[in-house]
Amino acid sequence: MKIGGVVKIVVCLKRVPDVAEAEVKVKEDGSGIIEDRLIFDINEPDSYALEESLLIKERVGGEVVLLSLGDEKVEEALRMGLAKGADDAVRISDPGFTTLDGLATGFVLARAVEKVGYDLILTGCMATDLGQAVVGPVIARVLNIPYASLVTEIKLEDGKATVTRELEGGLLEMNQVKLPALFTIQTGINEPRYASMLGIKRASKREIKVFNKEDLGISDLKVESEILRFFIPPVTKHAEIIKGPPDEIATRLAQIIKEKGVL
């Protein structure tokens, strides 16, 4: 690896449902959500990781490789990454990879990262669908490399990265990390670019490699936890907005207090 020359950046992407403007419905058996009419896109924190990889590539040169675990549907996210400027994309798929937990997912991705080669690995700080924030650290642990989470700035120089990361209470922390390393990226670190129509057209024709269990040398994969069911929690509390003239508001407020037995 040569900073100022060529650096190989691997970015892990996840395809997730965009539920911001949609009503989420759960299957009757609780095994998952009903995906009909839901729009899927790149996990938002991952989109910032992708953009940061492209900015690093523009500053110091290098190559950006995308990885995603899933069936053919995840190729839409990979192609969008290619359209924005990534150099290569790999999909990881195997019948044995359909019910992985966060630890197993991190292990599989680590083996794929190892296979394609890397100097720097970027992931989103968390997946917006499950919110576990565990995959990035697991990848780093399996590969035995340093990592930093919730990164808001990256500067590369002389085989090292100076990173700023976000802490609780608005505090920031600056670290110097020897490469190769993994960073989980906080949202807001940059402004993700849009793909051009020409980029989208070219990406639609690109071949996407597929790695299976045998390609990654995985024979026995343990899944230590499983999701028992999804459910929408019952509404137990609600807020009532009292409108009207002051005297009516006061009367209604007094009535509510009496009904609740507060006084």
- For residue range 168-190, what is the model confidence (pLDDT) as tens digits? 888 999 999 999 999 999 999 99
pLDDT, mean of residues 230-241: 74
- Spatial separation of the C-alpha atoms in residues 197 and 208, rounded to whole Å: 19
What does the block give as tokens for 256? 């509510």
Question: Are the C-beta atoms of 47 and 102 separated by less than 8 Å?
Answer: no
Adjacent-strand bridge partners of 177: 161
Q: Tell me which architecture the domain covering 8-211 has in CATH.
A: 3-Layer(aba) Sandwich (3.40)
Question: Are the C-beta atoms of 139 and 12 separated by less than 8 Å?
Answer: yes
Adjacent-strand bridge partners of 174: 164
Q: Of all residues in the chain, what percent carry a pLDDT higher than 70?
A: 93
- Spatial separation of the C-alpha atoms in residues 51 and 13, rounded to whole Å: 12
pLDDT, mean of residues 32-51: 86
Q: What digits encode the pLDDT tens for the residues 120-162?
A: 999 999 988 777 788 999 999 999 999 999 999 999 998 999 9
Q: What is the mean pLDDT of the chain?
A: 88
Whether the pLDDT of residue 230 is over 90: the answer is no
Q: What is the pTM of this model?
A: 0.83
pLDDT, mean of residues 230-256: 80
Whether the pLDDT of residue 4 is over 70: the answer is no
pLDDT band at 263; cut points 50, 70, 90: low
Whether the pLDDT of residue 3 is over 70: the answer is no
CB atoms within 10 A of CB 219: 8
What is the per-residue pLDDT for 262? 66
Angle at 28 between CA 233 and CA 40, to 5 degrees: 80
What is the per-residue pLDDT for 2? 47
DSSP secondary structure letters along 224-261: --------PPPP--------S-HHHHHHHHHHHHHHHT
Cα-to-chain-centroid distance, residue 134: 10
